[in-house]
Amino acid sequence: MVAETSAPKTTPSIGDYLRNNIREYGLLVALVVIMLFFQFLTAGVLFRPVNLTNLVLQNSFIVIMALGMLLIIVAGHIDLSVGSIVAFTGGLSAIMLVKWGLHFSIVVPLCLILGGLVGAAQGYWVAYRKIPAFIVTLAGMLVFRGLTYLVLQNRPIGPFPKDFQLLSTGFIPDFLYFINPLPGVVTNFFALVAVLVLVALAIYYGIKDRRTNELHGTENEPFAFFVLQMGIISAVAIFLGFQLSTYKGFPNVLVVMALLIALYTFVTTRSTIGRRIYAMGGNEKAAKLSGINTERLTFYTFVNMGVLAALAGMIIAARLNSATPKAGVGFELDVIAACFIGGASASGGVGKITGAVIGAFIMGVMNNGMSIMGLGIDYQQLVKGLVLLAAVFFDVYNKNKG
């Protein structure tokens, strides 16, 4: 037999490319369609600057937790306890801030560490004692909810000091107010400039990436496609940025969230840790026999989840301006659903940060839109459930067809 090592395939056609990447674009298209749909049904309320700001504030913590949950799901596990960790760390922060009068610059890092410890406590049983994560975190869900009631003694604690509240309610100030050319329309000129700069950077790096790929003979997406995609994403980003800039600008949480999304995208696509998590989720035994310390890796994904859940807990507490024992009930389901809508596989090894983020926003937009329309929680849950099932069915259908 003669080996015929064919040359790397030349540029695929747009059709091929679409077919291969249908999941990611499908998701983005779905989000846009859902947004337009509710924009229509709510008679234009959805895209109003105030509502867009609300949308970000209401969903930031789900997105932040989805980042950690995605890693856990990719690693082949699940975490049902995040809702309880949210309440627990929120409660602890309230005690430290309100009862003990500590400054937030001490409380915030302390709570993040505590969240990490909670994650470590659960990760230990999953990673080193081989107890299924479903069971460990189900236990954790009950234990930490119970602890929350204990530490809060069944009563909400609040209000919080002003500086801590800014975490959720604050906005990035308009550093560039003095050169604002349209003071009547744009109320936060800095936000608009920031969006334009980011879009410009994205285009610059996108083109640069294509150059290096060409240099190394690696596949690129078709150019027309690249232009189209960049065009649409830029237009949407500029539109949303503009809307926000006509209100109060960027909420602080939006910046935190965006930085975290960037960080986790980088970790999952470029770092050795990310690569190893995907390999472990894809085939744990093979990964272990390849010299990867799978136990330690699993342990750290849970620690990471705990830290992110603690951050979410503080954001929620700051937003509600009180820590209640009932905070975060059912959040684990929204977070997990976001990951699965975003294309993560329940058997591990598959899933993307961008997918989970879009998934979280699909859920968020539906919540928001249905609330504006005045639909009750009953319909909201029903619709969300069906959307989750449909998204996963779409995945399975696609996989079988391909």
Instruction: Please choose, from the candidates 230, 231, 235, 239, the residue with its C-alpha nearest in 3D space to the C-alpha of residue 191.
Output: 239
- Of residues 3 and 43, the one with the C-beta less far from other proteins: 3
Binding window for other proteins (CB under 8 A); candidates: 34-42, 48-56, 90-98, 268-276? 268-276
Identify which of residues 77 and 145 has a Cβ nearer to other proteins in the complex.
77
Query: What is the x/- site pattern for other proteins, positions 348-377, by CB under 8 A?
Result: -xx---------------------------
Residue nearer to other proteins on the CB measure, 6 or 154: 6
Q: Is residue 21 a contact point for other proteins (CB under 8 A)?
A: no
Q: How many C-beta atoms surround the C-beta of residue 39 within 10 A?
A: 17
Pairwise CA distance, residues 361 & 352, whole Å: 14
**Which residue in the set 3, 43, 179, 224 belongs to the binding site for other proteins (CB under 8 A)?**
3
- Judged by DSSP in three states, 335 sits in helix
CB nearer other proteins, residue 276 or residue 384: 276
Least distance to other proteins, CB of residue 5, Å: 6
Residue 5 sits in the site that holds other proteins (CB under 8 A)? yes
Tell me the one-letter amino acid at 64. Answer: I
Contact between 282 and other proteins (CB under 8 A)? yes
Could you tell me which residues are beta bridge partners of residue 67?
none
CA torsion 38-40-43-48 (nearest 10°) is 60
Query: Residue 129, interface with other proteins (CB under 8 A)?
Result: no
As a whole number of angstroms, the distance between CA 94 and CA 160 comes to 7
Closer to other proteins by CB, 105 or 347: give it: 347
Q: Exactly one of 203, 273, 346, 383 binds other proteins (CB under 8 A); which one? A: 273
Helix 294-320 / helix 49-74 crossing angle, nearest 10 deg: 160
**DSSP bridge pairs for 171:** 251
CB of 218 to other proteins, least distance (A): 7
Minimum CB–partner distance for residue 275 and other proteins (Å): 6
CA distance 194 to 122: 40
Q: Is 251 helix (H, G, I), strand (E, B) or coil?
A: strand
Nearest residue (CB) to other proteins, 161 versus 282: 282
By the rule CB under 8 A, 49 interacts with other proteins: no
If phi > 0 it is left, if psi is from -120 to 50 it is alpha, else beta; for residue 240 that is: alpha
Closer CB to other proteins, 105 or 213, in the complex: 213
Two tokens at 280?
A: 């472990």
**Please, is 60 exposed, middle or buried when counting C-beta atoms within 10 Å of its C-beta (0-12, 13-18, 19+)?**
buried
> Among 1, 43, 179, 224, which residue interacts with other proteins (rule: CB under 8 A)?
1
Q: Which of 169, 293, 371, 398 binds other proteins (CB under 8 A)?
A: 293
Binding site for other proteins (CB under 8 A): 1, 3-6, 8-9, 212, 216, 218-219, 270-273, 275-276, 278-279, 282-283, 285-293, 349-350
